[in-house]
Amino acid sequence: MGDDLRRTQLFDLHVELGAKLVPFAGYEMPVQYPMGVLKEHLHCRTQAGLFDVSHMGQVLLRPKTGVLAAGALERLVPQDLVGLKKGRQRYAFFTNESGGILDDLMVANRGDHLFLVVNAACKAADIAHMRAALPDCEIEEITDRALLALQGPGAEAVLDRIAPGTGAMRFMDVAVMASEFGALWVSRSGYTGEDGFEISVPGGAAQDLARAILQDDTVAPIGLGARDSLRLEAGLCLYGNDIDETTSPVEAGLEWAMQKARKPGGAREGGFPGADRILQELTEGAPRRRVGLRPEGRAPMRAGTEIFNENGDMIGAVTSGAFGPSIEAPMSMGYVTPQHAEIGTQVFGEVRGKRLPATITGLPFRPAGFKR
């Protein structure tokens, strides 16, 4: 490993647990444990998995005198944050002037301030972006807390024993919960398509909390490998693969994450970077669309695979692809022209010089298990 890679507060625990470590977003992170990616994936789907996501950015956004933090942040995202109730969080994305996505993030309303979780590879740029555009707000990066994700159908029972009351939280609720590991900033959400929680914990208590969670026989440590196959089965985007600065939210099929107030005819229509393009695409359609693909056979069509129609014309490309352990079949996501985006359309992916058939399918690849 390079000397310039950073380590999370759980690094020693990963080594102790036998993790295979790889460079990821500037950090030395576990890609898998001795259980292996396939078994880790299935364990999370059937019981519970613990993920170290401390490499991600935790940011507090506080308003200066006379300013509403939610209203200020709406200048950078196409979400309705003014209407976000205290104790709730929302998926959002920063857009650029050309309507592309700079990053996707979670925004929580904690009363007198907002709590943001941003992607690890983008956090420095995101914080600089906010500081430049929001002079009426204080932007504070939190560096003394770790971030864990506990995901799977057994997550609720495990965490409720450690922080009583978490079991009563609804999907996308946020709360500060008392525990013997200090104040836990908990959200009921996650990136696996399962019920679960993300837990911000004081850095000095992170290893003790992780050990306490792992003492439960239903919980296994899960690495980045299974995290990727879990999120792909759930039809969720990975920033830098499925969405980036060249991708508009409408192309990515993320219209659901833009509330009525910010859309054409809404109370606060537009007013965010790239609004002209995004609002136009909402009305008139986008030049390409993110779709699910189910290749025939057992071989996955991975990122970069070119997609062709029945006439041999190139119509798009795969952005993420893997074998889905829960669906027992290969799965991919990618972009195609709108006329080929209809579910059931047959297309062809070029794999090792051969054009292999695949079918456009709906997302997610398996139903979500979120608690509603």
- Residues at the annotated binding site for substrate? 198
Q: How many CB atoms lie within 10 A of CB 125?
A: 15
* Rounded distance between C-alpha atoms, residue 201 and residue 8, angstroms: 12
Cβ–Cβ under 8 Å, residues 61 and 130:
yes
Q: Which among 196, 195, 228, 222 is positioned nearest to 300, based on CA atoms?
A: 228
C-alpha dihedral over 207, 213, 215, 220, to 10 degrees? Answer: -100
3 state SS of 178: coil
Tell me the three state secondary structure of residue 85: coil
Q: Read out DSSP for 3-47?
A: TT-B--TTHHHHHHTTPEEEEETTEEEEEE-TT-HHHHHHHHHHS
In this structure, what token pair is assigned to residue 108? 């929580």
Q: What share of the chain is helix, strand, coil (3-state, %, to 5)?
A: 25, 35, 45
**Largest Cα–Cα distance in the chain?**
64
Question: Cα(44)–Cα(29) distance, rounded to whole angstroms?
Answer: 19
Token pair, residue 342, equals: 């209809």
Q: Which residues fall in the annotated binding site?
A: 198
Residue 293 makes CB contacts below 8 A (sequence gap 6+) with 301, 307, 318, 321, 331, 332, 333, 334, 347, 349, 358, 359, 360, 361
